[in-house]
Structure 1
Amino acid sequence: MIVFNNVTKYFPTRGGEKWIIRNLDLTIPRGRSIGLLGRNGAGKSTLLKMISGSLDPDEGRIDRYGRISFPLGFAGSFHPGLSGAQNVRFVARVYGVDTEQLVEYVQDFAELGPFLHEPMQNYSSGMRARLAFGVSMGIAFDYYLVDELTAVGDDNFKRKCRAVFDQRLQHSDVVMASHSTSTLRSYCQTGAVLENGQLTYYEDIEEAIEVHLRNMRGPGK
């Protein structure tokens, strides 16, 4: 369960304050995956970072009950001067899992070969994404956070990613931000629409999609 208690987040801009969330009180229950919708720049990625704990709200608090992933495939928190394996060990210690077991899992999953022991500053963007996805799948989270589900690598690797992710979601939930309504329909039962600093929750993903599309069309359309 993820509980928002009067959460507010904004960023100062030249044109004034850019509100991401205003006074949000919301409980995301276990057992149902949620699709997050909103126009470009609404703040979906910021909201996922807040849920993960990598970004604090300006007001209020977020209570997390269960193990919550970093945004799936996100490599931004990895240290470029450390090797892939060293970064994996660091993440393992943060989440309290066996370091060598996670390294072995990522070594097998990410298919980086000897590059696993090279500094990440030498990685291509695809290699960083494969390492980050492998780390995400190597830890059993209660919630997986997904910011636009993308697959990297050849077709065989993409199929492997999809199969492992689907397997994980048999026992876990997902909070997924995406512009693809078909992807959200595949993974999510409930939805939430972020619009002008307000997040509105819907028990049915179809209702959330309908509201979002209506917002995109504009008033009266």
Structure 2
Amino acid sequence: MIEFRNVSKMYQTRGLTRRVFSDLSFRIEAGESLAVCGANGAGKSTLLRLIAGVEHPSSGHIERSMRTSWPIGFASCFDRTMTGADNARFIARIYEHDEEEVLNYVEDFAQLGVYLRQPVSTYSSGMVSRLAFGVSLAISFDCYLVDEVAAAGDVRFRRRCETELMARRDSGTLIMTSHDPYMLEQYCTRGAVLYSGALVFFDTVAEACEVHHSLQMRQN
């Protein structure tokens, strides 16, 4: 279970305050697969970081009874001066997993070749996404967070991502953001729309996508 209780999130930059969320309250049960729709800048990535615990709310409380992944594709979880392999080993130690098992999985899944043993600072954005995806799937979580990353890589890599994510969805909890309605409906059974600092839930992904599309048309 993941529960938000009156959660607000604000950022302050150069004397300006930007409010992303205001008094969000909702609950996600174990085993759910939730699609989150929202425009660019609406706060989808911020929401996932809050769920993961990567960031903390400005006010309110977040309760988790599930072990939650960091948002897949979140590059800041890596030390860019370290190699991809060393990052994988380090994360394995943090989560008390066998280092070599995790490294072997990442090496096979991410297909970075010799770059796996090069500093992450030398990677392209796509390579960082592959590494993040591989390490995330190598670690066992109860809830997986996916932030647009499934589109990274070639066709073979995307298909493997789809297969692995489906397996995790079927055995756990999945929360996904994407601008692709087909992808959201493929993975998720319930939808939500993030708009003007509020998160509204719908019984189906199709209904959430339709509402999101209507809101975007009003703004254009």
TM-score higher than 0.5: yes
The corresponding residue for 2:4 is 4
Q: Residue type matched to 2:11 in 1?
A: F
Local SS of the residue matching 2:76: coil
Instruction: Verify: 1:160 aligned to 2:172, yes or no.
Output: no
Q: Separation in 1 of the partners of 2:13 and 2:200? A: 25
SS at match of 2:41: coil
151 and 214 in structure 1: CA distance in 2 versus 1, 3 angstrom threshold? closer
Where in structure 2 are there 5+ consecutive unaligned residues?
Answer: none
Instruction: Quote the residue 1:47 is aligned against.
Output: 47
The Cα shift of 1:205 comes to 1.9
Deviations, residues 123-143 of structure 1 (Å, cap 9, x unaligned): 222222211111111122211
Shift of 1:106: 0.8
Per-residue CA deviation, residues 28-64 of structure 1 (Å, 9 max, x unaligned), is 1122211111122111111111111111100012111
TM value normalised by structure 1: 0.91
Alignment check: 8 A CA contact 2:150 2:161 kept: no
**One-letter identity of the residue aligned with 2:168:** R
CA distance in 1, matches of 2:154, 2:179: 23
Residues 48 and 145, structure 2, Cα contact 8 Å, conserved in 1:
yes
Deviation at 1:113, TM superposition (A): 2.5
Is 1:92 aligned to 2:80, yes or no?
Answer: no
- AA at the equivalent of 1:95: Y
User: Is 1:194 aligned to residue 163 of structure 2?
Assistant: no
Contact kept, 8 Å, 2:168 with 2:174, in 1: the verdict is: no
Moved more, 82-91 or 161-170: 161-170
Partner of 2:125: 125
* Structure 2 Cα separation of the partners of residues 204 and 95 of structure 1: 34
CA RMSD of aligned residues (A): 2.0
Q: Is the 8 A contact 2:33 2:175 kept in 1?
A: yes
Contact 1:34 1:191 in 2 (8 A): yes
Aligned position for 1:171:
171
Is residue 129–residue 149 contact of structure 2 (8 Å, CA) maintained in 1?
no
The CA distance in 2 between the partners of 1:206 and 1:163, in whole Å, is 22
How many Å separate the matches in 1 of 2:190 and 2:6? 21
Residue pair 1:19, 1:196 contacting (<8 A) in 2 also = no
Which letter maps to 1:116? Answer: L
Tell me, what secondary structure is at the counterpart of 1:140? coil
Mark the CA change 1:149 to 1:123 in structure 2 (over 3 Å): closer, same or farther. Answer: closer
Instruction: From the superposition, tell whether residues 14 and 215 of structure 1 become closer, same or farther in structure 2 (CA, over 3 Å).
Output: farther
Question: Contact conserved, 2:34 with 2:190, CA < 8 A, in 1?
Answer: yes
1:59 matched residue in structure 2: 59
Q: In structure 2, what is the Cα distance between the partners aligned to 1:103 and 1:45? A: 27
> Which segment is superposed worse, 55-64 or 152-161?
152-161
SS in 2 for 1:37: strand
- Percent identical among aligned pairs is 45
Matches within 5 A, 1:14-93: 17-93=17-93
